[in-house]
C-alpha cells in the first residue's frame, strides 16, 4: 500500500467517524438537519471505504 492509498483510506474513515459524531450531536440536540447531514457523511465514508476494499481485492491485497 502506498502512502497515497493510506492517506485516502484515512480520509474516508475520518469522514465516516465525523458523520457518526454529527449524527449523534444532531440527535442529542434535536437538530434533524445536522442529524441528516451526519447520516449522509457516514454513508458516503462507508461507500468510499467499500470502494477502497474492492480496489484492494482487485489488486490482490
CA distances from 46 to 16, 18, 23, 25 (A): 6, 12, 14, 19
In the prediction, which pLDDT does 61 show? 67
In the prediction, which pLDDT does 60 show? 83
pTM above 0.85, yes or no: no
In the prediction, which pLDDT does 1 show? 75
Residue 60: CB atoms within 10 A of its CB come to 5
Q: Which residue positions in the chain have pLDDT lower than 50? A: none
Amino acid at each position: 500500500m502506498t502512502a497515497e492509498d493510506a492517506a485516502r483510506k484515512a480520509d474516508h474513515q475520518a469522514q465516516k467517524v465525523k458523520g457518526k459524531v454529527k449524527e449523534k450531536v444532531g440527535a442529542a440536540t434535536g437538530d434533524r438537519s445536522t442529524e441528516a447531514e451526519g447520516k449522509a457523511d457516514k454513508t458516503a465514508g462507508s461507500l468510499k471505504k467499500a470502494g477502497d476494499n474492492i480496489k484492494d481485492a482487485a489488486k490482490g491485497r
